Chain A
Amino acid sequence: MLKNYLLIFWRNMTRNKVYAAINITGLAIGIASCILIYLYVQHELSYDKYFTKHDRIYRVVNNLIVEDEVEKASVTHAALAPGLAADFPEIETALRMINRNKQVLRLDEKAITIEHAFWADSNYFEVFDYKLLEGDPKAVLQEPNTMALSKDVAAKFFDDPMKAMYSTFRIGSQSYKVTGIFEPVDAAHMKPNVLTSMSTLPAEVRQNFKSNWFGTNSYTYVLLSDSKAAAGLQAKLPDFVKKRISPARGNTTERVELHLQALTDIHLNTDYLWEAFPVGKKSYIYIFSFVGIFILLIASINYMNLATARSVKRAKEVGLRKVVGADRSQLILQFLSESILLTVFSVFVALLLVELMLPTFNSLSDKNIASNYFLEPIFAASILGIALLIGLISGSYPALVLSHFKPADVLKGSTTPNSGSAVLRKGLVVLQFTISLVLIIGTIIVYSQMHYLKSQDLGFTKEQVLVVDIPSGDTTIVNQMPVIKEQLLKNPKITEATTTVMIPGETTGVIIFDVERNGTMAEKTMNTIFVDYEFLDLMDINLKAGRNFSKEIATDQENGFILNEAAANVLGWADPIGKRIGFSDTTAGRVVGVVKDFNYTSLHSPIEPLVIMLAPQNNGYLMARVSPNGITEAMDHMQETWSKFAPSHPMDYFFLDESFNKQYRAEEKMLTIFGYFSLLTIIIACMGLFGLASFTAEQRTREIGIRKVLGSSVSGIVMLLTKDFALLVMVAIVLASPIAWYGMQQWLQDFAYRTPISAWVFVASGLVALCLAIVTVSFKAARAAMTDPVKALRTE
């Protein structure tokens, strides 16, 4: 019997190629999209699960609270890890990681800048059990001047990365012997490339770390003896703060709160500052999952609609099978097995598609998903389950309709049987187009928001600014900065040069200031940046009152402060110039200038109060403004100057506008992926429409013939066939607009600066969908309308 079903299925497919193609392509694209989204979501959800002790590892983070301001920081005091380990027996071991950011690794003549270097305690590999390709987890980071490299970094120096073992690299003034090579883990919230042993740090630094409860510099992780101990430990932390931290800190107004974060929670559930790597966003996981389900839904609807529309053609078969003794359940089984077969077939096509699209998808989504995913039994099982489910869902309605036919009715041949509810079919088409339109409108709004952000007046000019990362810790270079700046300006294509600790787009520092308020001094926490004399000029930041820092005025170095308007406002100073500001131990600090507000972090957030301080000797970046017509020349000159003054460091540079726009990367990534998927939904929906239009045209062949004989024109008939479908799309536009408007309004809440959602977005998307639908349908309608009426009437 199954063989019989297969035969009928196969012959129906091969005899109705368009129908088969629409169904299989639609389902395959839908399933492929779903698989990609599944892999993405799965990858996002699998963060840090690689480590076998993941359920026992917690990160300790802290809230630093001053007045009502809370800074949630992922970096903690260096003394925290040893302190916790000593006080709590339920902590098996605790460890610190300190971010060293970018470092130049040297081996003989070879020097390569490597990102994401960390200092780590010696128990690192016992807690995080990376696969060590070389080395012993217990011994790797024990000794001073040792380090572990990821295989990828080792491969940059050696053709055979394992050869890196025991070779001695140099970073800055120190040398490090490689005592371990590890296989990097992609889905981990920390992806170190280089780990250097904490014991390398000078003894006085390590001593200081033991009791330093002021500076926060360490990521702190604890390994619990039992995953259930976390809640109990969390409850004891306030006491720990009271006993250990507060006394050591003396009477600062800043309070510390400690929190445990489950390791596997970090990637998606963190809103702490100073993360070493970009974190994920839970909302995107939801959005993507919905999009995946929607695409699949749209493809399944195609099957439902086409199968019921086509049911007329199979009515006779159903009648006959009943005549020879089939009961209804057997017929339901037959039609369900057809839909399941079709989906299983589509799954194979989909897997092929995924294989083809994976590299593109990886680069779009910044992931590194390997194509061996389907070897995982869970994946194979769930893909099979999904195929079954889609087959069942999309096949059940057609199966019910078809199996319901009464042989006495259908075998007469003259009447057309009821092929299911036409209203339902129309409703489903409306649903398909509503979903597509919501996605399209969403894409357009995301796009216009991105455009809006990039074209916003930030209050400074980010274009044409070259930024060079000054290698940290090399004081010889830092000391030469004034000379380097002078040298740079010798080239006419470089108009300005300055240094700064922080560039716009980065998180600023936060400092508690003493400020003058009603005659007395009061504390106020504000964002702070440290810059050089030329910073404001170079950035085109305008002064509103007072003056810029001046080399002629020696006191500026210690006592000059420049505020932004927001700071002046929040302090309630109508005339800020000359007002007292500083730290508790100084009294000479004065406001010398006020600048117009500029967006120094990102347009996600409104401009907060900012204090600008002078620190020419304390720099992170060298910036140069270059003329638009001389970028290459300016860069050559810069490179030449750099090599002269800092021959041991490769020049690591970027453009300010690029780095500033990087903070919208998450959104841009989403935009691209979103855009592709919405395109796919509309294509699949149109394919379904094409199929439906074919059947309508076929069913109405006779009517069309008669109308033509009676004198109707081709265009009249095209109109007749098209207008019903056009109406459905219009209903979808009406439904989709408020949904999309509401959803995007929510999304825009993430930004302090929002593009207005204008009506044209809805009108334009609606028109596009309508045109697509009309073109699709009228293509079919025109063919039907142009058929010779005599031929049409003969076919009966």
Chain B
Amino acid sequence: MEELVIDTKNLQKRYVTDTVETTALAGVDLKIAKGEFVAIMGPSGCGKSTLLNILGMLDSPSDGTFKFLGHDISRATERQRAKLRKENLGFVFQSFNLIDELTVEENIALPLAYLGVSKADTTKRVQEAMERMGIAHRRSHFPQQLSGGQQQRVAIARATVSNPALILADEPTGNLDSVHGREVMTLLSELNDAGTTVVMVTHSPSDAEYAHRIVNLFDGQIVTENVNVKRHAAELL
């Protein structure tokens, strides 16, 4: 059997605020195998980000089980989750989320710092990541001095510098024009080709084209799952 990166059963998430209770996830069963590229689509407010946050262990489910690389997350402590996160995960957000007070280079190096990677190694890997993303010439700029596309490339560089097993991307092209959006998608599928599992939330059908599988979410539940024939076909050729 294929190794599963993600395996959830009956995943639920409810938000209780004052008087209202919102059900963001209403029982999600999702299995994602190593090396897959999965796109999650659905209307605004249907629970996509909530799902992604739970998969990224930034949030915990109200109910259901979640196994990450075989570890039962519902029983993990905060500290264990932080460890799993830094060793296996990379995040890309719609709003880039770079630290304003750090330069491009320092932002990218941050995950390695928490991993305790040696200085020499860090320099080398940050250099590689920057070159891969084509931002090496901007190394000592601060985020505000970069365009949106450049910022997102820095964010991807940061997400990948630690060679994570899984990349979670929440509308990574949402704040970008189509040219830069396509660039980002190319980078992501290249990473996927190199073996990294990618889970991406998107509104754009054309972005979803890059995925192997498209999961459609509606009111907190998976309504359809489609295999992307085109991509599979391309791979088979």
Chain A positions near chain B (C-beta within 8 angstroms): 1, 4, 7-8, 11-12, 15, 316-317, 319-330, 406-408, 411-413
Contact = CB atoms under 8 A, between A and B. Distances in A.
Given A1-B114, A316-B99, A323 B106 contact: no
11 contacts: A1-B113, A4-B102, A7-B106, A317-B100, A320-B99, A322-B82, A324-B85, A325-B85, A326-B82, A406-B59, A411-B97
B191 interface: no
A325 B86 contact: yes
Contacts of A328: 78-79, 82
Nearest to A409: B59
A316 B114 contact: no
A463 B93 CA distance: 84
A427 B86 CA distance: 39
Contact of B101 (A15, A326, A412): A15
Contacts of B110: 4, 320-321, 324
Contact of A322 (B58, B100, B102, B109): B58
B58 A4 contact: no
Contacts, number: 81
A321 B113 CA distance: 10
Interface string B56-95: 1011000000000000000000110011011101010101
Contacts of B229: none
A316 B86 contact: no
Nearest to A10: B101
B114 A330 contact: yes
A193 B50 CA distance: 83
Task: Give the interface SS of chain A, mostly helix, strand, loop or mixed.
Answer: helix
A11 B142 CA distance: 11
Contacts of B99: 8, 316-317, 320-321
Contacts of A8: 99, 101-102
Interface string B90-122: 010101011111100010011101110000000
B58 A327 contact: no
Given A323-B91, A324-B110, A408 B82 contact: no
Nearest to B93: A411
B216 interface: no
Contacts of B50: 408
A785 to B, nearest CB: 28
A643 to B, nearest CB: 78
Contacts of B113: 1, 4
Given A325-B87, A325-B114, A327-B78, A408 B59 contact: yes
A330 B83 CA distance: 12
B189 interface: no
Contacts of B100: 316-317
Given A324-B91, A325-B89, 20 more contacts: A1-B114, A4-B102, A4-B113, A7-B101, A8-B99, A321-B110, A323-B97, A324-B111, A324-B158, A325-B83, A325-B111, A325-B115, A327-B78, A327-B82, A328-B82, A407-B53, A407-B58, A408-B59, A411-B95, A412-B49
B97 A320 contact: yes
Contacts of A7: 101-102, 106
A320 B95 CA distance: 12
A704 to B, nearest CB: 24
Q: Considering residues B78, B101, B115, which has the most beta carbons from chain A within 10 angstroms of its beta carbon? A: B101
A317 B91 CA distance: 14
B83 A327 contact: yes
B166 to A, nearest CB: 13
Given A326-B82, A326-B114, A327-B83, A408 B58 contact: yes
Contact of B82 (A1, A15, A320, A325): A325
A7 B97 CA distance: 18
B141 to A, nearest CB: 14
B171 to A, nearest CB: 12
Nearest to B155: A320
Contacts of B97: 316, 319-320, 323, 411
Given A12-B101, A317-B101, A323 B78 contact: no
Nearest to A317: B99
A327 B79 contact: yes
Nearest to B115: A325
Nearest to A15: B101
Name the residue among A15, A324, A326, A330 with the largest chain B CB count within 10 angstroms: A324
A138 B58 CA distance: 81
Contacts of A12: 101
Interface string B177-188: 000000000000
Nearest to A316: B97
A116 B147 CA distance: 81
Contact of B85 (A11, A323, A408): A323
A437 to B, nearest CB: 38
Contacts of A412: 49
Contacts of A316: 97, 99-100
